[in-house]
Chains A and B, each alone.
Chain A
Amino acid sequence: MTTPLVSLKDMLVVAPMFALLFMSLIPVMIKVFNGNKEPKPFVTVVYALLGVIVAGGLTASLAGMKHVAFSESIVFDGMAVWGSLLVLISGGFSLMLAYDHVETDGRQFSEQCFLMLGSMIGMLIVVMSNDLIVTFLGIEMMSLCLYILVAMSREHTLSKEAAFKYFVLGSFASAVFLYGIALLYGTVGSTQNPVVTAKVAELLANHNQLFYLGLAMVIIGFAFKVSIFPFHAWTPDVYQGASTPITAFMATAVKAATFIAILRLFQHADPATRSSFLAEPKFLSVLSWLAVLSMLLGNVAAVMQNNFKRILAYSSISHSGYLLVGVITAGFAERIESSLAATTVVLFYLFSYTLMTLGAFSLIGILEKQVGHSLTVDDLKGLASRSPVLAGALAIIMFSLAGVPPTIGFFAKFSLFGAAIEQNLYWLAFWGVMTSVVAVFYYLRPVVAMYMAEASETLVLRPAVLTRMTLVLTAIATIIFGLASSPVLEFVSESVLTRL
């Protein structure tokens, strides 16, 4: 043990978190020293965004590096870079949405920013963690902040209910997750990802029942966070109850971070052998069922919804199903190249999902005119004539979510199903396609309302500049990164290769 416990490089790796922490404290400090007087929201958001940008810059500048830090409990690699960037992008945009939003621009905005940045720190930990217990810590940090954020919506009683539900179920799932970790610890002797994955083959061969159970419970813990069926039930309720910017944040950043953690668990320990636990057909079938049911339930339930946020919640469930297909492919693939290709696809899909979801929620943010207003699809009527730009942007995003080329949503699905078919997971691909058709139906409904229905009188557009910007930017990005998906994919795939 000649290496020091903590090296300078270790600190460099976690520097983005410190940047976030530092910046998150400033507005709160100002408030405290100013006699509990809320600073100007604009100042607050600038500080917060600054933190995000600095963190993003730091992460990006470290890209290409592979480093294992803090006694192998933190790992910094390409996947971490991508995960961090996704988290920071969605966090940054969510901050912008929050700045504009009716429910969050009140007197507690500095606290809100503090919590959002804190949650992002937790996510960064999740993304970089190399140890299940660290992952647990990260998840808890992220979640605890979110519980409060959900509850913080001003004067909105439903948000309290949502927060409490989210809290109880979240803690419940955390306990399950933790129990799983404990069982893994007991059977493997360590909670470090590489150690666990290295021993998978051996333990599976022994039919170590505790290991089976532990793994199952860990998977359930993750599945809860990304709302995989049947651990999804909180999603629509919480998405509806939370204020829209927070919902956007939850839908994108949480999902991105958690899926990275899942990928780490599913990865191959040894490039030469197929060592993921998906080699065990039972796990494969369990996960396949979860994926298929999520795709099915998410899409099918959304068909009958009218509340736009709930639609997006169900859409989020189904997208988790699609992502799980990618994850399964990554774990199932025999050759390490295929596995990495599937990992790339998952990251790419996350990227596309983040863009589209942020865009969709921004539109909701613009249209929600007062506290507690629950936006339905019918409220969109006549938007096309009121604001062609916003309507066009949302239409692009909806088509992208439905997977119509040449948007990024199409290419994400294309590469995802491609990866699945390459591994002969035809049924997963087939169900993916079939449920996509169902999805088309409800993704088209907002478009129908905006363009084809009679205009409604009550349409009020708030002049939320940052939110509008977010919507338009994401829509444009949806097209541009769709057409230029190749550079993005290559970029991701190169950075994923640093894992080796």
Chain B
Amino acid sequence: MPINDALLNVGLSHYLILSALLFTLGLLGVLLRRNVIVILMSIELMLNAVNITFVAFSRYSPTANMDGQAMVFFVMTIAAAEAAVGLALATTIFKKFREVNIRYFEHLKG
């Protein structure tokens, strides 16, 4: 496949690569960022990367399978719930510790 062909004919693999990149980005965010809020956002990014995959698979499925698109709604709901719980927890620990740096929370270990 010539290079410009790959660039111009956007297909399933492009979406998959995009979602993989986004997922990795989110993953790295969780691994590397120190701020708890950013970590929460990174998780959201990972979930949304998955959404792209679902939609892409659904769109390019030979049988026009719509399940994937429905699943995105499930995922979005869960993501919202998670965000709510996550932010609540973040607030709580901020109240308790006055700290948003994740490296601060290393009391439990060993």
Binding site for B on A (CB under 8 A): 133, 136-137, 140, 144, 147-148, 151, 157-158, 160-165, 167-168, 171-172, 174-176, 178-179, 181-183, 185-186, 189-191, 210, 236-238, 240-241, 305, 307, 310
Question: In whole angstroms, what is the CA distance A163 to B96 when docked?
Answer: 13
User: What's the minimum C-beta distance from B56 to chain A, rounded to whole angstroms?
Assistant: 8
Which residues on the B side are within 8 Å of A190 (C-beta)? Answer: 65, 67
Which residues on the A side are within 8 Å of B75 (C-beta)? Answer: 178
Are B23 and A167 touching (Cβ within 8 A)? no
Are B108 and A240 touching (Cβ within 8 A)? yes
Which residues on the A side are within 8 Å of B61 (C-beta)? Answer: 186, 189
Which residues on the A side are within 8 Å of B30 (C-beta)? Answer: 168, 172
Are A171 and B82 touching (Cβ within 8 A)? yes
Are A137 and B67 touching (Cβ within 8 A)? no
A-B CB contacts (within 8 Å), total count: 115
Binding site for A on B (CB under 8 A): 16, 23, 26-27, 30, 36, 39-40, 43, 46-47, 49-50, 53-54, 56-57, 61, 63, 65, 67-68, 71, 74-75, 78, 81-82, 85-86, 88-90, 92-93, 96-97, 105, 107-110
Are B85 and A191 touching (Cβ within 8 A)? no
Question: In whole angstroms, what is the CA distance A164 to B108 when docked?
Answer: 12
Are A144 and B110 touching (Cβ within 8 A)? no
Are A164 and B54 touching (Cβ within 8 A)? no
- Interface secondary structure of B, over-half rule: helix
| Of the residues B43, B67, B109, contact of A237 by C-beta under 8 Å | B109
Given A133-B74, A167-B86 in contact, is the A157-B96 Cβ separation under 8 Å?
yes
User: What's the minimum C-beta distance from A263 to chain B, rounded to whole angstroms?
Assistant: 23
Q: Which residue of A lies closest to B86 (CB)?
A: A167
Which residues on the B side are within 8 Å of A305 (C-beta)? Answer: 110
- Interface secondary structure of A, over-half rule: helix
User: What's the minimum C-beta distance from B6 to chain A, rounded to whole angstroms?
Assistant: 18
Q: Which residue of B lies closest to A155 (CB)?
A: B96
Question: In whole angstroms, what is the CA distance A172 to B16 when docked?
Answer: 19
Which residues on the A side are within 8 Å of B16 (C-beta)? Answer: 186, 210
Which residues on the A side are within 8 Å of B53 (C-beta)? Answer: 179, 182-183, 186
Question: In whole angstroms, what is the CA distance A210 to B56 when docked?
Answer: 14
Question: In whole angstroms, what is the CA distance A158 to B46 when docked?
Answer: 28
Q: Which residue of A lies closest to B23 (CB)?
A: A179
User: What's the minimum C-beta distance from B44 to chain A, rounded to whole angstroms?
Assistant: 9
User: What's the minimum C-beta distance from A473 to chain B, rounded to whole angstroms?
Assistant: 31
Which residues on the B side are within 8 Å of A191 (C-beta)? Answer: 67, 71
28 A-B residue contacts at CB 8 Å?
A133-B71, A133-B74, A144-B81, A148-B89, A151-B92, A163-B89, A163-B92, A164-B36, A164-B90, A165-B105, A167-B85, A168-B86, A172-B27, A174-B47, A174-B78, A175-B50, A176-B46, A181-B50, A182-B68, A183-B53, A185-B67, A186-B16, A186-B56, A189-B61, A190-B65, A190-B67, A191-B67, A210-B16
Extra inter-chain contacts (14) besides given A136-B78, A175-B23, A182-B54, CB under 8 Å = A147-B85, A160-B92, A160-B96, A163-B92, A167-B86, A167-B89, A172-B43, A174-B78, A175-B43, A178-B75, A181-B50, A182-B53, A185-B67, A186-B57
